């Protein structure tokens, strides 16, 4: 997927360079905004250093013309000149150091800031954005593409600007010395442009292929680690190593092609141009000398020109060598800009608060896409402190209803009120603090048990333990070798599914929510653990409003009321006893179906399943 995205981005780069340039410029300006003073200082240092460096050949020329050729051993003047040149050189080095440190600092701080900004922005994007987002791509936007800012600084400020200033300084000095010779040196510029063009044509495919192969290598490593149990169980280790080796080989070959283009086109060709130019300049001098002896003035100029020519060639080599990196940085920067341009989820400005946790849903209809309604005319009143179950076939809209209650999506028709306040009028922080979620797949951090329950909230040890006890998770946590301080490994790899689920419940309860939403929290756990969860939920009765989507009907058997969703409509509503008595009713059929399944699966636990 990432490869595809890179290829797409690259094609787009070729077709819309102006868009990429403006996006990169926008990102660079954004990154530089808080650093304007440092950037200006850095550029001032850059100008000063380039200016001082341009003085060297002039001093050389002055020495040759005034002392060396006339054989004038005016020692104090020569010593003064040497000292001056030495001081200017030393000062230029010091200024360069200051400039590099300053601009490198600006570049690094900018990447740091932009990376944080992109991460914060991604966390604030509305849930519908993630329906289409590809995780790997988003990760690389935040981690890799933000590096584009650094590359842009390095390329645009360090290399291009620096090279242009050196070039301009050398050209100005040459113009002053001999404008006709300067015009000959100018001929180098179109020649270099041609070489850059040829280099681009030759190396760009190799550069992009190398990138693609590198991301394939990354993808294979990630895939292998994620699928390690399957990989080892199916004895596929050697096959995977072989696949990796051939990818790695292709990467090496592609990299070699890239390096060959660099090796042939850049240094040797440009160095040859340098020699050619020198030959031309010397030739011109020779022709002039034919008309009469070389004057002292001309030898000085010749020296200065020879020095300046290398100063003109070197920046051009630098600009050429960095052009492919610059191109990739432009693509990266435009991706980051595009992500930053995504609208964040609106933050409720009202200050409504959740009270006791009564939920009132009225005439609610919703669809993810226009013309495809998923929920129709839902009317439901869930009193504070009650326990409501939601059941129904796959695709009947259960998770969608929960997503609306969580404000992940907003419904255009109908309303949801909590304690009489419309959902959208509740202040974000109190709303999130008051509504807890236990998702179907428990999400655990690679951190300790305590950190997983607290999730960054400032909770005391006692509060964490109380939440774990309420979720009936304290028992197994106490049995871990370091109790609440046991690290869990990525995704809670060290725990059983049931234990992860109990931790997820503990996390939700630790926030002392008024409303607790459970999305099929018991579908993957054994019936013993399910009973533990049921006991935990029963203990919340009267204190917390619980809405639980249940795959297993046994989870919601004791609920105050059960809503049966059918094709997005609340088809039946009542207690287990009431619903089971509806002849030919949906709930009755679900229940019978689960019983049949359980009878047909001897040895499995007897908990009936809904879907
Ligand atoms: N993010 C989404 N974008 C578009 N359509 C969606 C999205 N999520 C769900 N749907 C569609 O909405 C309908 C209801 O899905 P929902 O997940 O709410 O059902 P469910 O009852 O929770 O199913 P399950 O028991 O399988 O979890 C389905 O037709 C589904 O394809």
Residues 220-254 have pLDDT tens digits of 888 888 788 788 888 888 889 999 999 999 999 98
Counting ligand 1 atoms within 8 A of each CB, the residue from 129, 131, 399, 518 with the most, and so the one to mutate, is 399
368 alpha carbon to ligand 1 midpoint, in Å? 9
Cβ(595)–Cβ(607) below 8 Å? no
Residues with CB under 6 A from ligand 1: 131, 368, 374, 392, 394-400, 611
Q: Give the closest residue (by CA) to ligand 1 atom 10.
A: 368
Neighbour count for residue 235 (Cβ, 10 Å): 8
Atom of ligand 1 nearest to the CA of 551: 25
Atom of ligand 1 nearest to the CA of 392: 21
If pLDDT is split at 50, 70 and 90, which confidence band does 610 have? Answer: very low
Structure-token pair, residue 185: 């040196």
If pLDDT is split at 50, 70 and 90, which confidence band does 565 have? Answer: very high
Instruction: Compute the distance between CA of residue 510 and CA of residue 457 in angstroms, rounded to an integer.
Output: 9
If pLDDT is split at 50, 70 and 90, which confidence band does 1 have? Answer: very low
Q: Region 580-595: what's the mean pLDDT?
A: 87
Higher-pLDDT residue of 388, 530 = 388
If pLDDT is split at 50, 70 and 90, which confidence band does 289 have? Answer: low
If pLDDT is split at 50, 70 and 90, which confidence band does 295 have? Answer: low
The SS3 of residue 99 is helix
If pLDDT is split at 50, 70 and 90, which confidence band does 190 have? Answer: confident
Atom of ligand 1 nearest to the CA of 610: 25
395 alpha carbon to ligand 1 midpoint, in Å? 5
399 alpha carbon to ligand 1 midpoint, in Å? 7
Q: What is the dihedral of CA 404, 406, 408, 410, to 10 degrees?
A: 40
Q: Give the closest residue (by CA) to ligand 1 atom 13.
A: 395
Give domain limits for the chain.
2-340, 359-600
Q: Residue 149: what are its φ and ψ, rounded to 5°?
A: -60, -45
Cβ(166)–Cβ(96) below 8 Å? no
pLDDT of residue 491: 62
Atom of ligand 1 nearest to the CA of 402: 18
Higher-pLDDT residue of 84, 318 = 84
If pLDDT is split at 50, 70 and 90, which confidence band does 334 have? Answer: confident
Q: Give the closest residue (by CA) to ligand 1 atom 5.
A: 368
Counting ligand 1 atoms within 8 A of each CB, the residue from 369, 374, 549, 611 with the most, and so the one to mutate, is 374
CA 440 to chain centroid, in Å, comes to 26
pLDDT of residue 174: 83
Instruction: Compute the distance between CA of residue 594 and CA of residue 599 in angstroms, rounded to an integer.
Output: 9
Instruction: Compute the distance between CA of residue 119 and CA of residue 154 in angstroms, rounded to an integer.
Output: 23
Question: Could you identify the residue written with the tokens 């993808």?
Answer: 219
Counting ligand 1 atoms within 8 A of each CB, the residue from 370, 393, 398, 402 with the most, and so the one to mutate, is 398
Cβ(403)–Cβ(389) below 8 Å? no
pLDDT of residue 608: 40
pLDDT(2) > 70 = no
The SS3 of residue 387 is strand
Q: Give the closest residue (by CA) to ligand 1 atom 30.
A: 395
Find the helix or strand (DSSP H, E) in which 107 lies. Answer: helix 75-123
Give CATH for domain 2-340: 1.20.1560.10
Its ipTM equals 0.95
Strand 413-418 to 421-422 pairing: antiparallel
Cβ(91)–Cβ(52) below 8 Å? yes
528 alpha carbon to ligand 1 midpoint, in Å? 29
Which residue(s) pair with 563 in the sheet? 390, 573
pLDDT of residue 609: 43
Please say whether the structural domain 359-600 has been given the CATH code 3.30.450.20: no
Q: Region 116-127: what's the mean pLDDT?
A: 91
Q: Is the backbone of residue 32 left (phi > 0), alpha (psi -120 to 50) or beta? A: alpha
pLDDT per residue as tens digits for the range 373-401: 999 999 999 999 999 999 998 889 999 99
Helix ranges (DSSP H) in 521-581: 527-540, 553-556, 576-580
């Amino acid at each position: 997927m990432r490869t595809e995205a890179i290829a797409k981005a690259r094609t787009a780069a070729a077709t819309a360079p102006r868009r990429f340039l403006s996006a990169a410029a926008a990102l660079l300006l954004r990154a530089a905004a808080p650093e304007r003073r440092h950037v200006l200082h850095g550029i001032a240092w850059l100008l000063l250093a380039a200016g001082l460096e341009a003085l060297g050949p002039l001093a050389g020329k002055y020495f040759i013309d005034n002392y060396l050729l006339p054989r004038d051993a005016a020692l104090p003047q020569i010593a003064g000149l040497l000292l001056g040149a030495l001081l200017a050189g030393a000062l230029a080095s010091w200024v360069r150091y200051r400039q590099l440190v300053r601009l490198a600092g600006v570049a690094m701080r900018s990447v740091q800031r932009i990376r944080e900004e992109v991460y914060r922005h991604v966390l604030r994007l509305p849930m519908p954005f993630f329906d289409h987002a590809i995780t790997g791509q988003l990760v690389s936007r935040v981690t890799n593409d933000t590096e584009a800012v650094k590359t842009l600084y390095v390329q645009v400020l360090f290399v291009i600007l620096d090279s242009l200033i050196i070039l301009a300084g050398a050209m100005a000095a040459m113009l002053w010395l001999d404008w006709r010779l300067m015009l000959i040196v100018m001929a180098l510029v179109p020649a270099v442009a041609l070489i850059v063009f040829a280099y681009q044509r030759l190396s760009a495919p190799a550069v992009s292929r190398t990138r693609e192969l590198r991301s394939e290598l990354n993808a294979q490593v990630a895939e292998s680690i994620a699928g390690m149990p399957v990989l080892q169980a199916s004895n596929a280790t050697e096959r995977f190593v072989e696949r990796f080796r051939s990818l790695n080989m292709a990467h090496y070959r592609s990299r070699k092609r890239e390096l060959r283009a660099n090796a042939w086109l850049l240094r040797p060709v440009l160095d040859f141009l340098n020699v050619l130019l020198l030959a031309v300049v010397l030739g011109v001098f020779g022709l002039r000398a034919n008309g009469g002896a070389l004057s002292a003035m001309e030898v000085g100029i010749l020296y200065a020109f020879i020095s300046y020519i290398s100063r003109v060639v070197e920046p051009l080599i630098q600009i050429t060598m960095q052009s492919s990196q610059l191109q990739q940085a432009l693509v990266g920067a435009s991706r980051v800009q595009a992500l930053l341009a995504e609208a964040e989820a609106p933050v409720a400005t009202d200050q409504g608060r959740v009270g006791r946790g009564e939920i009132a849903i009225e005439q609610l209809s919703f669809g993810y896409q226009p013309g495809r309604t998923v929920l129709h005319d839902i009317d439901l009143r869930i009193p504070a402190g009650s326990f409501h179950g939601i059941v129904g076939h796959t695709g009947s809209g259960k998770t969608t209803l929960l997503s609306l209650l969580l404000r992940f999506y907003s419904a255009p028709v109908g309303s949801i009120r909590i304690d009489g306040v419309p959902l959208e009028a509740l202040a974000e922080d109190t709303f999130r603090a008051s509504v807890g979620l236990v998702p179907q797949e428990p999400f655990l951090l690679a951190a300790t048990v305590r950190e997983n329950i607290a999730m960054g909230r400032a909770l005391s040890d006692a509060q964490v333990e109380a939440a774990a006890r309420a979720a009936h998770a304290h028992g197994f946590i106490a049995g871990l070798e370091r109790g609440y301080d046991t690290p869990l490994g990525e995704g809670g790899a060290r725990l059983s599914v049931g234990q992860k689920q109990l931790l997820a419940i503990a996390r939700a309860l630790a926030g002392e929510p008024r409303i607790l939403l459970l999305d099929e929290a018991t579908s993957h756990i054994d019936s013993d653990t399910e009973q533990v969860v049921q006991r935990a939920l029963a203990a919340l009765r009267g204190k917390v409003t619980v809405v639980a989507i249940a795959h297993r009907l046994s989870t919601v058997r004791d609920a105050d009321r059960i809503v049966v969703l059918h094709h997005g409509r609340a088809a039946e509503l009542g207690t287990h006893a009431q619903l089971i008595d509806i002849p030919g009713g949906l709930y009755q059929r679900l229940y019978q179906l689960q019983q049949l399944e359980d009878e047909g699966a001897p040895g499995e636990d007897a908990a009936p399943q809904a879907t």
